Structure 1
Amino acid sequence: MGLQVLLYWPNIIGYVRIGLVFAAWASCETPAVFVPLYSTHIALDGVDGWLARRLGQTSRFGAWLDVVVDNLGRGLLWSLLFQWGWLVSALEWCVFVCNHNARGDHWKNSFITSPPFIQAVMANGFRTPLGTWVVSGLHGLPLWLYGCRWGLLTHWLGLPLWIQALGTVLLAAGRLLALSVEIWCVWTHIKYLTDDEPEEKNN
């Protein structure tokens, strides 16, 4: 396989997504440009995995790149929204390190011994109602909050305030569910690291 994996079509989509993230960052003060760019970046997240399976072009690099691009995009947006937004990004990068270090490129399917709730969230690679809710919270909440900040939900979509509030609550709940999984991943990785520590021999 070698370096030719870098030119797999799903990975090329990943490079396009990186370009979209930086283009969105450059236009963050112009919602009419930012929203289409960032939304396309999110939409393509579902395309690369499907294309990889369709073309038989799954790879360890592709699995790694997919999460890197996801974290890059969300980290950008959280940092734009709040001064403390970098904390959310830092946690997501920490979870990325934990999962890919201990679980490898098949990390999404490596939770069969996890508590039932964690298994329910991760089942079928997030392709369940609960998993969709969690992913919607991960990707959708920061973009939704961006829309609230710039008044886009009112001026563009004409959503009444109660729907905006309800959407915020639902997406925030999905993000909190994701947070519970993230904390569990970090904790289990700490246990993994400490369990592997050799016991000191008594002299």
Structure 2
Amino acid sequence: MRVLLYWPNIVGVDGWLARRLGQTSRFGAWLDVVVDNLGRGMLWSMLFQWGWLVSALEWCVFVCNHNTRGEHWKNSFTSSPRLIQAIMANGFRTPLGMWVVSGLHCLPVWLYAHRWGLLSSCLNLPLWIQAVGLLLLSAGRLLALSAEMWCIWTHFEYLTSDEPEEKKN
């Protein structure tokens, strides 16, 4: 199954293994996000004709955060609104952060598994559990969307803040 190629990134095995083996680097952190975005983008595109829009949004956020905030982007949200701070706190290692990351990473996999009947046939999940899972993951993805939109907005502000006053008018 094609979705299994994406699975190691969902469960965080790649980052955990790199940290465990002491083989982390700036390039590895960057590559991890790139591979995650590619995997999610492929899944969203397989699921929906408009799936590329979700992927494009995630790539925009990636570029905005890494351009403006640099390699330590996860720790650069101290002056952000409370919701954004709460989502980003401790590198997403809070209940809210984990909910957002679950929505971001797991929703396309959940939708894929639902579309192909894997939730009911392989996992024997009752329909109500499938619905609750979809609801929770969708809510997490919507929270991620709010943070993504804020990141893009602040990047626009950053890009336009240093223009001479006569160019702004």
* Alpha-carbon distance in structure 2 between the residues aligned to 1:59 and 1:40: 19
The offset of 1:61, in angstroms, is 1.6
The offset of 1:50, in angstroms, is 5.9
> 1:7-18 residue pairs with structure 2 within 5 A?
none
The offset of 1:170, in angstroms, is 0.3
Which residue is 1:116 aligned to?
A: 82
> 1:20-169 residue pairs with structure 2 within 5 A?
33-43=1-11, 45-48=12-15, 51-52=18-19, 55=22, 57-169=23-135
Structure 2: give runs of 5+ residues left out of the alignment: none
C-alpha distance after superposition, 1:105-152 (max 9, x if no partner): 110111011011100000111011111100100111000000110011
Match status 1:194 vs 2:160: yes
Higher relative contact order, structure no. (Cα contacts within 8 Å, ≥ 6 residues apart): 2
Structure 1: give runs of 5+ residues left out of the alignment: 1-32
- 3-state SS in 2 of match to 1:132: helix
The offset of 1:65, in angstroms, is 1.0
TM-score normalised over the length of structure 1: 0.77
The offset of 1:35, in angstroms, is 4.0
- 3-state SS in 1 of match to 2:6: helix
The offset of 1:52, in angstroms, is 3.4
TM-score normalised over the length of structure 2: 0.92
- 3-state SS in 2 of match to 1:176: helix
- 3-state SS in 2 of match to 1:67: helix
**What is the aligned length?**
167
Question: Any conservation in 1 of the 2:3–2:43 contact (CA below 8 Å)?
Answer: no
The offset of 1:169, in angstroms, is 0.4
- The amino acid of 1:177's aligned partner reads L
* Alpha-carbon distance in structure 1 between the residues aligned to 2:159 and 2:16: 30
C-alpha distance after superposition, 1:68-122 (max 9, x if no partner): 1110000000000000000000000000110000001110111011011100000
